[in-house]
Amino acid sequence: MFTFPFRTAGLAAFAVTCLSAASVAAEAPKPAEILFDRPHIAAVAPGTDLVYKFERKPSNPKALGEGYTDDIIVKVESDGAPGKKNVMIKMYSGDRAREPQRITDMDGNPMLIIYLDNAVAHFRELAGGDSAYLKGMFSRHLGDGATIAPATIVYKGQTVEGYRVTATPFVNDPARGKMRGFEGATFTIALSDKIPGYFAKMTAEYNNTDKNSPTLEETTTLEGVGEVK
C-alpha cells in the first residue's frame, strides 16, 4: 500500500544515499541528479493538474490479482517558499482511492516518490525481502549503477528531447539468490525538462528467470504523452 514515508523531505529522503555519487555533468546529467536534484515543479503554474495514468498488467491475474488502470493526480495548488510549490496528491478512485495528501514547499515532483515507493513495495511482494534493505539497494543503484541515454518523447503531438533512465537495482545484489527469480526486474523513467513536472513515462517490469512464473508490468504515463524512443 502506498504511503508517504518521506513527507516534506520528499525526494531528498529517498536520494540520501545516491546523491553522494551524483554530480552535474556538462554533457549529460547523472541519473540521480536529474531524478532528485532538479526543481521539477518549480515552474509549474498554481492550479495545474499533472494527471498520470497508472496501468497494472499481470500475466496471471489469479496469482497476482486483476489488472487495472486508474489516475494519480499531482495538483499544484499554490506557491510556497521561494522556488517551491504546495501540492496535493490524489491517488486512484473508487475502492482503490487513498486519502488525499498535501505537501508544502516542494520543488521536486512527488510523482517520483510514488513510483519508487510502489516499485520497492511491489518488488517485495513478489520477491520477498526487507523493505529498508531493498530501498537502500535501489537508492545506491540510482547513484552509481543506473544508466541514462537520450530519448525523444511525444508530448501533446510535439516531439521533445529528453532522457531515459534505466535501473536494474537487484540483478547483482548479494541476496539475489533469495529473490525468487525476480532479481532482474527493470525500472525505466523517461523524462524531459520540456514537459511539465519532467516525468513522462515510468515503467516497472517484474520479469522472472522461471518462464512458468507470473510476471508483472506497471506503467505510469503523464496525460498527453505518446511514444517514447
Structure confidence at residue 11 (pLDDT): 54
Residue 145 cell numbers, joined: 549503477
Query: Any idea where the domains of the chain sit in the sequence?
Result: 7-228
- Inter-residue contact 106 to 8 (CB < 8 Å): yes
Structure confidence at residue 70 (pLDDT): 98
Distance (Å, rounded) from C-alpha 69 to C-alpha 55? 4
Structure confidence at residue 4 (pLDDT): 37
Read off the pLDDT of residues 3-21 as tens digits, 9 standing for 90 and up. 434 334 445 555 544 444 4
- pLDDT category at 82 given cuts 50, 70, 90 is very high
Tell me: pLDDT of 1 over 90. Answer: no
Tell me: pLDDT of 151 over 50. Answer: yes
Architecture of domain 7-228: Beta Barrel (2.40)
Structure confidence at residue 37 (pLDDT): 95
Share of the chain above pLDDT 70, in %: 89
Structure confidence at residue 27 (pLDDT): 72
Structure confidence at residue 128 (pLDDT): 96
Tell me: pLDDT of 109 over 90. Answer: yes
Residues whose CB is less than 8 angstroms from the CB of residue 1 and which lie 6 or more positions away in sequence, other chains included: 121
Task: Round the average pLDDT of the chain to a whole number and report it.
Answer: 91
- Give how far Cα 107 sits from Cα of 152, 197, 211, Å: 24, 10, 42
- Inter-residue contact 93 to 72 (CB < 8 Å): no
Q: What is the 3-state secondary structure (H, E, C) of 172-210?
A: CCCCHHHCCCCCCCEEEEEECCCCCCCEEEEEEEECCCC
**Is residue 77 classed as helix, strand or coil in its secondary structure?**
strand
> How many C-beta neighbours within 10 Å does residue 205 have?
16
Read off the pLDDT of residues 177-225 as tens digits, 9 standing for 90 and up. 999 999 999 999 999 999 999 999 999 999 999 999 999 999 999 999 9
Tell me: pLDDT of 23 over 50. Answer: no
Which tops the pLDDT comparison, 178 or 25? 178
Read off the pLDDT of residues 116-149 as tens digits, 9 standing for 90 and up. 999 999 999 999 999 999 999 999 999 899 999 9
Helix, strand and coil content of the chain, in percent to the nearest 5, comes to 25, 35, 40
Strands (E), 92-180: 101-106, 147-155, 158-167
Tell me: pLDDT of 71 over 60. Answer: yes
Mean pLDDT of 41-51: 98
